[in-house]
Amino acid sequence: MAGNIFGNLFRVSTFGESHGIALGGIIDGCPAGIELNMKEIQYELNRRRPGQSSIVTQRNEPDEVNFLSGIFNNKTTGTPIGFVVYNKNHKSHDYHHLKEVYRPSHSDFTYEKKYGIRDYRGGGRSSARETICRVVAGAIAKQLIKDIKITSYVSSVGNISINKSYQELDLSRESIEKNSIRCPDPNTAEKMISKIKKIKNRGDTIGGIITCIITNIPIGIGEPIFEKLHAELGKAMLSINAVKGFEYGSGFDGTKLTGSQHNDLFQEDESTKTNLSGGIQGGISNGMDIYFKIAFKPIATIMKKQKTIDKHGNFILIEGKGRHDPCVLPRAIPIVESMTALVLADYWMYTKLSKYSSIKKN
Amino acid sequence: MAGNIFGNLFRVSTFGESHGIALGGIIDGCPAGIELNMKEIQYELNRRRPGQSSIVTQRNEPDEVNFLSGIFNNKTTGTPIGFVVYNKNHKSHDYHHLKEVYRPSHSDFTYEKKYGIRDYRGGGRSSARETICRVVAGAIAKQLIKDIKITSYVSSVGNISINKSYQELDLSRESIEKNSIRCPDPNTAEKMISKIKKIKNRGDTIGGIITCIITNIPIGIGEPIFEKLHAELGKAMLSINAVKGFEYGSGFDGTKLTGSQHNDLFQEDESTKTNLSGGIQGGISNGMDIYFKIAFKPIATIMKKQKTIDKHGNFILIEGKGRHDPCVLPRAIPIVESMTALVLADYWMYTKLSKYSSIKKN
Amino acid sequence: MAGNIFGNLFRVSTFGESHGIALGGIIDGCPAGIELNMKEIQYELNRRRPGQSSIVTQRNEPDEVNFLSGIFNNKTTGTPIGFVVYNKNHKSHDYHHLKEVYRPSHSDFTYEKKYGIRDYRGGGRSSARETICRVVAGAIAKQLIKDIKITSYVSSVGNISINKSYQELDLSRESIEKNSIRCPDPNTAEKMISKIKKIKNRGDTIGGIITCIITNIPIGIGEPIFEKLHAELGKAMLSINAVKGFEYGSGFDGTKLTGSQHNDLFQEDESTKTNLSGGIQGGISNGMDIYFKIAFKPIATIMKKQKTIDKHGNFILIEGKGRHDPCVLPRAIPIVESMTALVLADYWMYTKLSKYSSIKKN
Amino acid sequence: MAGNIFGNLFRVSTFGESHGIALGGIIDGCPAGIELNMKEIQYELNRRRPGQSSIVTQRNEPDEVNFLSGIFNNKTTGTPIGFVVYNKNHKSHDYHHLKEVYRPSHSDFTYEKKYGIRDYRGGGRSSARETICRVVAGAIAKQLIKDIKITSYVSSVGNISINKSYQELDLSRESIEKNSIRCPDPNTAEKMISKIKKIKNRGDTIGGIITCIITNIPIGIGEPIFEKLHAELGKAMLSINAVKGFEYGSGFDGTKLTGSQHNDLFQEDESTKTNLSGGIQGGISNGMDIYFKIAFKPIATIMKKQKTIDKHGNFILIEGKGRHDPCVLPRAIPIVESMTALVLADYWMYTKLSKYSSIKKN
């Protein structure tokens, strides 16, 4: 009910349901004077778009963003940036049979109980279509913090994983975008794609893991004690549809180590020899690479018959219709990067405030 | 700099450094008329206290909380609850040798860089001593949401893990508090304690995992889309010192499953047969148990010589002095539960607002 | 830069410039299940519309609102309500001569200095056109708190004032809407209108005062100590374009009284004999009528030649062009009521949280 | 219930009741590296102290502040600054007779109704004793924005007013502090003091007006559209006990002027010839002096018999006991200045964020 604003200084409000007229948002707090590259914004939307390859949903949505305010002569003006993306292809009739049904592992049931009313046309507000607004805002945030590089890629699909560290991979845009699964290791990518195709043919879906790397980040970003950098990154990632887990640096594996194995020793130049800390100490960036992993469950909508109940407690059989993603991961890449950029943009601004400096009388 | 307030409706502000005069906090937004059980508050503080067993630090702190406002005749009055805990045993002289040193995997370096000034007496604000305020506030939050049951226990230490699901364990307070590691499986507990003792004798430290279970939770708690219940729980856990990862429900393992394996089918009574969702769908509690895991790295302070640098870039050798924890986990149990209670208290209040109802003219 | 969100629980974000493509907003936190009367929303917009009478600007804008989300089958769903109002009639060419000019008592100068860039087409973000979003959101807020009655009217124009207390006036909608100045005292209204016409003919503008009355308000609304009800009402009113002052209850005149004259004595039914307090004690509504006054300065855009400077410090002569309001007050009535409704809606929700009550497990 | 935090970037949380153990607060967001002048902080507290002259309450409280964190070697560290002020002289027994009584024009009634429970010992949270925390925080805020000068003085008591503009007065600290009423016009001051003494002898109280002037303020402070500088100043002032009105610049008198009379014409150096705008245009400071007036009602506690009711609706006679202020104004001066400083400190920090500038990789 009240969770539709993200960030404090670089604040994004969003609205919109999967089958409504439009989705959109407002960015409040974007500094004035940023020259925006509109192509980069559309590029990110295209990476999130349905229909972009054979392993994602074949729905066709142009997903074009219209900016309504806050930009003048291609520059941000410091006033709120309003934007909308119209839903061209909602096909509400596809969903009428779901009016009173609680689909398994969807949020039909919880929305109905929480609000007492529900837009039953598709996922409504809980649909991943909502993330389109995150990508628009994130693409602008990326341009605010352009010196920082955010890269993410698919590191696992089901039980197929890259068995190289991120340092061993070519993480250039070209390398990651070369294949439809967005995995920079070509052999693994091929196996992942073939796995997804098999799963799709069975009408099923599959989960996986995305790895995200932040490089060239200034020291000092993060706001202890409750808003440590990794805590806010974790929250941002966990707010993405289908995410079940987040770890950074040594993560869950690090729990098996001793302190003497885990400690990152400093070098003369203030960098550390190892980086099990994952670039963050005490909730504040230390200038080393930040890296983290995000676990995505398999999508709940499957093209197979499932038994479920309706709101009167009657059992019924349902089966996914239409065109759905067999695996959320390739389209989630720009969402992960967008949320990362939103966190960093917000915190970057706080960082300007941590040390005292006076503002002179003009 | 600005991250010392947690929550929105049940808001906690905290202050205090490990070696300052006192730590404390303010709870703003606690409803009026809650009859407080003061013994339960001290009980939680005692579970967090140093010196409570042979596998935790032997420092001796009474950790008594003084409430200064907001409570009248033992009931909350709706005004802010101020509290302080004085540091009885700070021993600042122990720390003078660390004045210009950056200890490995501590936040000495990042605080120095971010703020340009640092309270070098111990961890200062970044010390886990700060969590004492979380436990005070959390103990009150628990009393606000007393119908909900929050239980946590140590499920792994290093590579020793409980190999039972939480349903197979006796999760009564007695069972968990029976041993000093707070593991409800007696055999595993024994192995964990013996492991920690070995590690401690070597002057080293070890990480581990805490599992937390929320039962008897109402349906409808959580605020999509950015403040989904699990996102806020994740943030709360990741804000605790030494935490490197969070997963809920099926977590990272769930990424290996297919949709047809992962979906939780509804039963006639609106419960689900399985619970891989972990009690949350679309960011909102569905009434099933919520369960999640938190990864703790090994504590960075070890009783072994380590090479590090000072702020001038000179190498020096340091070695932990005094009395430190070999394993943070048993003392982290009340902290995990407190942060969970703070999240739930805050969201519980939002839940009252999601459906329309008028307030009549009195 | 970051001041475009109003409220905490019933939160409104707005965007849009006077000569951009559209203005709009998002309401986050509106409870689910409110049946909306769309005609009432448009009615409020019509009261704010240009061109509605001979004493306001003759610009012609339909000012139709498009709701994009958050409403399903005419009821709020608890998800964010997005809306846009397109600018049909912007005529940007009218404003090109103002590109580098700082108009006197406008915010051209301060925006330029603060942001380093400025949308010079009219007032941009600082134009009162922005208030259209306040009226949309306020009209919904009014429906949330429908038991409370908010009424405002023009009580002074220049030195012409109603010399009756609000209790002596007919404050029905019909009475206030009967004349174009929205003054419920017909004789005074006539004088005001004739005054405004004279002022308009001279190419000048004139200020005035609006009085606002809140009746049938529950006891207990307001959040001490910083967010007292009158403090938030004051902020809301002062945020409206052209407002220079706010007083409630006895106001500035009350400073001349003694305590024994000013104290409101209680009666047996808990009402008070007098109401110099203005319905608020200690920042919390006491159930008596709330009444306050808002001072509006004369509009800065006049149809007379004025000497001013451009951004290079050169003197130039300017003169208002186009169609402007000679007096902001009649069109400000719905804005005052909207901001009042937004404050009350937000605080109404807080009021549900002040006393403890448990939420049962469903 | 949730209104005890002021500010966003420079955030103050406060707690404490008039007859509790202590009052205190936390400043979160104060930049690191400010060298604090502790004497100035105590100086402000002394100006607010009871017992400082014959025209204020003769209660005796040392009002000493204890800082508990956030300051190291006399400098702010960027971590939260916790502080407490103990109540030395609460004399709770004085108040027992008020247990069930609703004093006229106090908030006994509204607190009882809102929270269902009330600390009846004096005003509890609604007592002006609460403002001690505002003065501590404000005194630190003043040191953050030390280039800006904030001066306030008593300009009216009852119907006795200074009939000079602020520019004609000597506003040095010495001049204002020379007399016990803090009025920089000696003749008027004498009349005011003699008026207050008469009022006091009758057991009555009297209201008045404080004028506040901000000079040497940078251009660009204020956050449109809802958080305009004057809106936030208004809210801050209206949150002070006994305040009934706020006006800035031309204020209520400005409503009588025409646009051509009211507009402030620019001069070549970007200053304005006149300053009816009061230093703020479009919610943003324009570098000219900011000036505003605050109306204080007479204090409700009088030393005369008054008829009132108790919580059972029975009439009873009450009479103020103990030592109360006949006029709140001289002691309100540091409170007004503190709240002004808190607003400016918060907004000063936002001002650093309005224009884009990158943070380089360190």
CB spacing of C356 vs B76 below 8 angstroms: yes
The answer to whether residues A181 and A330 touch, using CB atoms and an 8 Å cutoff, is yes
The band of A1, judged by pLDDT with boundaries at 50, 70 and 90, is very low
Nearest to B113 among A4, A207, A219 (CB): A219
Residues of A near D (CB-CB distance < 8 A)? 8-9, 29, 31-34, 76, 78-79, 144, 146-147, 216-220, 224, 287, 348-349, 351-362
Q: What is the largest CA-CA distance in chain A?
A: 71
CB spacing of D361 vs A287 below 8 angstroms: yes
B358: nearest CA partner in chain C: C145
**What amino acid occupies position B286?**
N
Say if residue C240's pLDDT is above 70. Answer: yes
The predicted pLDDT at position A47 comes to: 95
Map D294-348 to HEC letters: EEECCCCCCCCCEEEEECCCCEEEECCCCCCCCCCHHHHHHHHHHHHHHHHHHHH
CB spacing of B287 vs C216 below 8 angstroms: no
| Residues D112-136: tens digit of each pLDDT | 999 999 888 888 999 999 999 999 9
Mean pLDDT, residues A74-87 taken together: 96
Mean pLDDT, residues C54-74 taken together: 89
Looking at beta carbons, which residues of chain D come within 8 Å of C232? 235
Say if residue C189's pLDDT is above 90. Answer: yes
The predicted pLDDT at position B1 comes to: 47
Identify from C196, C204, C244 which residue to disrupt to test chain D contact, counting D C-beta atoms within 10 A and taking the largest count.
Answer: C244
Q: Nearest CA of chain C to the CA of A71: how many Å?
A: 9
C218: nearest CA partner in chain B: B361
Q: How far is CA A353 from the centre of its chain?
A: 27
CB spacing of A276 vs B297 below 8 angstroms: yes
Say if residue B92's pLDDT is above 60. Answer: no
| Residues D259-269: tens digit of each pLDDT | 999 999 999 99
What's the half-sphere exposure (Cβ side, CA atoms, 13 Å) at A106? 27
| Residues A224-268: tens digit of each pLDDT | 999 999 999 999 999 999 999 999 999 999 999 999 999 999 999
In this complex, the chains that touch B, judged by 3 or more CB pairs closer than 8 A, are: A, C, D
In this complex, the chains that touch D, judged by 3 or more CB pairs closer than 8 A, are: A, B, C
Looking at beta carbons, which residues of chain A come within 8 Å of B110? 219-220, 222, 280-282, 284-286
Mean pLDDT, residues C61-82 taken together: 95
The predicted pLDDT at position D119 comes to: 86
Q: Per the structure block, which two tokens stand in for D293? A: 């007036």
Q: Nearest CA of chain B to the CA of D307: how many Å?
A: 24
Cα angle C218-C221-C225, degrees, rounded to a multiple of 5: 155
Q: Is D299 annotated as a binding residue?
A: yes
| Residues A158-184: tens digit of each pLDDT | 999 999 999 999 999 999 999 999 999
Say if residue C120's pLDDT is above 90. Answer: no
| Bridge partners for B317 per DSSP | B307
The predicted pLDDT at position A92 comes to: 54
The predicted pLDDT at position D344 comes to: 97
The band of C221, judged by pLDDT with boundaries at 50, 70 and 90, is very high
Closest CA to C349 of C222, C216, C215, C212: C222
The band of A89, judged by pLDDT with boundaries at 50, 70 and 90, is low
CB spacing of C125 vs D219 below 8 angstroms: no
Q: In the structure, how many helices (H) and strands (E) does chain C have? A: 8, 17
The predicted pLDDT at position A358 comes to: 73
Q: Is D357 annotated as a binding residue?
A: no
CB spacing of B119 vs D77 below 8 angstroms: yes
Looking at beta carbons, which residues of chain A come within 8 Å of C88? none
Mean pLDDT, residues B237-254 taken together: 98
| Residues C242-296: tens digit of each pLDDT | 999 999 999 999 999 999 999 999 999 999 999 999 999 999 999 999 999 999 9
Binding residues of C for FMN: 125-127, 241-242, 282, 297-301, 323
CB spacing of C224 vs D262 below 8 angstroms: no
CB pairs under 8 A between B and C: 81
Q: Nearest CA of chain A to the CA of D338: how many Å?
A: 19
Q: Per the structure block, which two tokens stand in for D30? A: 């104060």
Q: How far is CA D276 from the centre of its chain?
A: 24
Q: Is A299 annotated as a binding residue?
A: yes
CB spacing of B16 vs D66 below 8 angstroms: no
Nearest to B235 among A231, A255, A259 (CB): A231
Q: Please list, residue by residue across A193-225, b when 16 or more beta carbons sit within 10 angstroms of its beta carbon and e when fewer do.
A: bebbeebbeebbbbbbbbbbbbbebbbbbbbbb
The share of chain C scoring above pLDDT 90, in percent, equals 85
Q: Is the ipTM of this complex over 0.90?
A: yes
DSSP secondary structure letters along A180-227: TT--SSHHHHHHHHHHHHHHHHTT--B-EEEEEEEESPPTT--BTBTB
Binding residues of B: 48, 125-127, 241-242, 282, 297-301, 323
Looking at beta carbons, which residues of chain D come within 8 Å of C209? 252, 255
The band of C89, judged by pLDDT with boundaries at 50, 70 and 90, is low
In this complex, the chains that touch C, judged by 3 or more CB pairs closer than 8 A, are: A, B, D
Choose between A62 and D153: higher pLDDT: D153
| Residues D200-249: tens digit of each pLDDT | 999 999 999 999 999 999 999 999 999 999 999 999 999 999 999 999 99
Burial of D163 (0-12, 13-18, 19+ CB in 10 A): exposed
Q: Nearest CA of chain D to the CA of A134: how many Å?
A: 21
Closest CA to D349 of D199, D220, D256: D220
What stretch of H or E contains D151? strand D149-157
All domains of chain A in start order, with CATH: 5-351 (3.60.150.10)
The answer to whether residues B336 and A293 touch, using CB atoms and an 8 Å cutoff, is no
Q: Nearest CA of chain C to the CA of A16: how many Å?
A: 5
CB spacing of A29 vs C84 below 8 angstroms: no
Looking at beta carbons, which residues of chain C come within 8 Å of B357? 31
Closest CA to D53 of D326, D336, D334, D337: D326
The answer to whether residues C220 and C281 touch, using CB atoms and an 8 Å cutoff, is no
CB spacing of A66 vs C21 below 8 angstroms: yes
Q: Nearest CA of chain B to the CA of C131: how many Å?
A: 26
CB spacing of C218 vs B360 below 8 angstroms: yes
Identify from A159, A225, A316 which residue to disrupt to test chain B contact, counting B C-beta atoms within 10 A and taking the largest count.
Answer: A225
Say if residue C93's pLDDT is above 80. Answer: no
Say if residue D90's pLDDT is above 70. Answer: no
Q: What is the average pLDDT value for chain A, to the nearest integer?
A: 94
Say if residue D360's pLDDT is above 80. Answer: no
The predicted pLDDT at position D1 comes to: 46
Q: Nearest CA of chain A to the CA of D103: how many Å?
A: 38
Binding residues of C: 48, 125-127, 241-242, 282, 297-301, 323
Looking at beta carbons, which residues of chain D come within 8 Å of B25? 26
CA C223 to each of CA A2, D109, D122, D290: distance values in angstroms, whole numbers, following the listed order: 19, 15, 19, 28
